[in-house]
A and B are shown apart, each in its own frame.
Chain A
């Protein structure tokens, strides 16, 4: 039975657009509270040093300064920056890495937070920062994970021997990789490393904290998972969870950065010390030299295949750079293994990872979360195997793509949906693969050489079966037949609230315009791990469907009685009417039922409402084929992207405009990652050299190539109206397809991102 869809599938206008376009939307730093103080953090200037003495006396004496705090003042409960830790099952790690305090006792990177000030205004607060003096005892610093993990070197955290923060084997190793490599007809080995891409969310980090007279903390911040952040906080401040209320304002971009705590602990601590609301703000330079960025993963991969193209072995070793503290570097490395080693069918698979501390800014998780990092290596490795087997890269991949029924990646439940082959076919046609890919090692002439490359991927629609993938939704029907939907994703502009409203509207049978959303307050919303892992549409969407179905059931029952129908199967709801399917002119309006439910002087009167839930037990991967056509200038090494095609297995585009927006936005970030986003630390002194939009370049309007988005809509059984996730996938195929296209154009591969002109030119010269 195909339901007529009035909202789902339409590019409805999301409601947060108008407030943002009129300047009425309030982001954290737009908010004020009465008697609010301004907080600023004092950052260290040493990459690795003991703090011998901090003199805050002059700062404290400055009129208008209400508090100056250091490590001595903060709770001595160490924590991990990552709030995702709250959603992990206990088997994921031997123990949680609790390695930092609100303010550090030692400086472990240039920019480490070692003091904080609260004052009546930001001018006074910054004057106070300038009055703080620190005596450091310099220690030897280490800047790369290989150096840092050498025995007998400088120790960054006492708890981590040889600075190894975490190590693990891929939980789904299988077969025997050495045997698989021996059995192979073609074998390749390659290394690859992503750069420490900075999120560059335009809204700098900030937080506004205040403690009520009842001892409850209210935190306003751009966290991507407020319920988890709240749990996390409870531990840091030794508070019962009931004493924390987390409010989510409008958020200026997340991309995974806000899955780690930012300045919230400092704001909360200053607010407690001063007994006044405190708003802590940060600058762009502080963000660059701070607590987030794509974890740099040094990967070595071995791949083996038979000459017919079928894979026999995949071996992946990862050494990741955590930076000075542990945040998401372990989980992104683990997720790399999950996606990379689980995408294709392969009988012998092995992965292992090691995460190492260095005296550099903290690495965390960035959209794509390990899959982007791994695809860069895997998809080039697949091309290298295809070359050795003399097969078309598409044909080679087709040999290894899993079919429905085979174990899905990571959590090995049977894959119940995969439209990758259609994605490949449609994408290849769009870019003109047949005409443009001419074979391996075709000699090209001229200064400017074109090339074409492709890549395929899968990505979780929520980490079901692994993370606490449980979401709930509440729907109530007002007396006028309108609905209020209470959910707890993280709306960062991706349009999730709009999509969930569309799902609610079509599940119940009312208009999109009649659905209001309540979100962003942990006192009101039900527990949810927030928006990440591209989970919100599928997992929260299914919770909304569950709630909506319950509402619909109530409506059908009421209407059946009114319309004197024996069975509810004879009825349906659409356009705000409950009607008889066989004779639609016979109906009762939803609003009539809703009104009468409330205005009911009998004992059965009640506001119609329902709570729905969904537990996801599978990653329900979406799939995608990506294509890139490039032109390489062999004299400057510059790469001009001529065209990108992304064909995405979306299942069902709840809101096509927003889905495209996610793919285009992800593609733009990945283009930056592929070609010019490079995070550079001065290894003489640990200073961040990539500290502004001038020294760290992200794409502007003039840097975007033509991008074709193909939405392959083959409904997925597990998804709400068949929908799967799309938040991250736009990023994954871009870098490898560009890398493969560069190889097709000029015959060189670059091991480390970004694939800069300097590296390409050097590789071309070395080749000749």
Chain B
């Protein structure tokens, strides 16, 4: 157990290209907000030879919106910036709620959304919303640039598709079609807590009929997951209570959560049903506004 870090080389490039040149191997990490990097290094969960700071690179901390391209935020955009961006609360309610349940102001001010995603944890509070809002992740590496759906960004517990020579520069979320509503819910022991489980639902309605539904679940698998069977079950249907109930059951049916210091497998499984159902209802109400 340690209270200080071990030494490493530190770089503060001013362009993304410089970052790419410096990236080389497992013990080289990128510093955005630093919340996870510093902690994991102190706990000796990771070894650090090289730390490359993104903090001096201009124009990475943007949050922008336009009706054509939707919402996008850069690698250094903090969760607080996104939370306070007016369009987010209005149009991407689940993303707003996901960030809002991170109640520590300091954490939101320091922590970047991209950094949160890059940790690759299934308990991220912004991953389920982004999973259900069609988010895409822009990755830049030595071999060029690519954009992937956020679902494929997560590979396993603590592991993303990022290669050692790559970084994420942006996450974008498309404009929401009319008739769309979303909701996020989370259970924790206290208000300031990592999720026992969290759930996000986005639903698109036309004339009361579900055109499309997306359901994402966190903390019930090694990565955040989409409840695709439940999503299929409601497509094209009028979403009455029974229908929602069945979708929620289907979502709960498929999960195999674990028991850990935060909760039990049994409880998590049962709560998937409750939260999916409740989130669905809220998303539908918002879609109908």
Contacts and interface: CB of A to CB of B under 8 A. Distances in A.
Whether both chains belong to one complex is answered with yes
A700 B267 contact: no
A761 interface: yes
A700 B274 contact: no
Contacts of A699: 190
Given A285-B1, A286-B1, A703 B190 contact: yes
Contact of B189 (A122, A697, A702, A762): A697
Contacts of A286: 1
Interface stretch (A240-248, A687-695, A734-742): A687-695
Interface of B: 1-4, 43, 103, 187-194, 260-264, 266-267, 270-271, 274
A675 B191 CA distance: 13
B261 A638 contact: no
A680 interface: yes
A636 B4 contact: no
A285 B261 CA distance: 15
A126 B4 contact: yes
Instruction: Give 6 closest A-B pairs by Cβ, nearest first.
Output: A702-B191, A676-B189, A689-B261, A758-B267, A697-B189, A697-B190
Nearest to B261: A689
B200 to A, nearest CB: 17
Nearest to A126: B2
Interface in A82-123: 122-123
A675 B189 CA distance: 8
Interface in A682-731: 689-690, 694-695, 697-700, 702-703
Given A635-B274, A758-B267, A761-B267, A700 B3 contact: no
A436 B187 CA distance: 29
A43 interface: yes
Contacts of A676: 189-190
Interface string A144-180: 0000000000000000000000000000000000000
Contacts of B260: 689
Contacts, number: 61
B266 A762 contact: yes
Contacts of B266: 758, 762
B6 to A, nearest CB: 8
A701 B190 CA distance: 10
A700 B106 CA distance: 14
Nearest to A679: B261
Interface string A417-447: 0000000000000000000000000000000
Given A123-B4, A638-B187, A702-B103, A757 B194 contact: no
A124 B65 CA distance: 50
B2 A680 contact: no
Contacts of A689: 260-261
A676 B192 CA distance: 12
A676 B188 CA distance: 10
A283 interface: yes
Nearest to B277: A635
A122 B3 contact: yes
Contact of B274 (A281, A636, A694, A702): A636
Interface in A39-68: 43
Contacts of B271: 636
Contacts of A680: 261
A700 B189 CA distance: 11
Nearest to A695: B261
Given A761-B267, A762-B266, A283 B190 contact: no
28 contacts: A43-B1, A122-B3, A122-B4, A281-B3, A283-B1, A283-B3, A286-B1, A635-B274, A636-B271, A638-B187, A676-B189, A680-B261, A689-B261, A690-B261, A694-B193, A697-B188, A697-B190, A700-B103, A700-B190, A702-B103, A702-B190, A702-B191, A702-B192, A756-B189, A757-B187, A758-B263, A758-B266, A758-B267
A697 B190 CA distance: 7
B1 A757 contact: no
Given A638-B187, A761-B267, A761-B270, A694 B1 contact: no
A281 B1 CA distance: 12
B73 to A, nearest CB: 25
A700 B192 contact: yes
A761 B193 CA distance: 20
Contacts of A636: 187, 271, 274
A637 B271 CA distance: 10
B97 to A, nearest CB: 15
Contacts of B270: 761
A480 to B, nearest CB: 47
Contacts of A702: 103, 190-192
A757 B267 contact: yes
B281 to A, nearest CB: 13
A322 B261 CA distance: 22
A291 to B, nearest CB: 14
B2 A283 contact: yes
Contacts of B1: 43, 283, 285-286
Contact of A695 (B43, B262, B274): B262
A759 to B, nearest CB: 9
Contacts of B103: 700, 702
A516 to B, nearest CB: 37
Contacts of A675: 189
Contacts of A635: 274
Interface string A269-310: 000000000000101011000000000000000000000000
Contacts of A703: 190-192
A663 to B, nearest CB: 21
Nearest to B275: A636
Nearest to B42: A283
Contacts of A697: 188-190, 192-193
Interface string A226-259: 0000000000000000000000000000000000
A637 B187 CA distance: 11
A697 B103 CA distance: 14
A190 B255 CA distance: 36
Contacts of B2: 126, 129, 283
Nearest to A637: B267
B252 to A, nearest CB: 13
A680 B188 CA distance: 17
A141 to B, nearest CB: 19
B217 to A, nearest CB: 16
Nearest to A701: B191
Nearest to B103: A702
Contacts of B274: 635-636
Contacts of A126: 2-4
A126 B41 CA distance: 14
A695 B260 CA distance: 10
Which one of B189, B190, B262 has the greatest number of beta carbons of chain A within 10 Å?
A: B189
Given A283-B2, A694-B193, A761-B270, 14 more contacts: A129-B2, A281-B3, A285-B1, A285-B43, A636-B274, A676-B190, A689-B260, A694-B194, A700-B191, A702-B103, A702-B192, A703-B192, A757-B267, A761-B267
Nearest to B5: A123
B28 to A, nearest CB: 22
A285 B39 CA distance: 12
Contacts of B189: 675-676, 697, 756
Nearest to A680: B261
Contacts of B261: 680, 689-690, 695
Nearest to B274: A635
A689 B3 CA distance: 19
Contacts of A762: 266-267
Contacts of A690: 261
- Give the one of B2, B194, B262, B264 with max A CB within 10 A: B2
A230 to B, nearest CB: 28
Nearest to A690: B261
Nearest to B192: A700
A695 B194 CA distance: 8
A636 B271 CA distance: 7
B136 to A, nearest CB: 30
A762 B1 CA distance: 37
B282 to A, nearest CB: 15
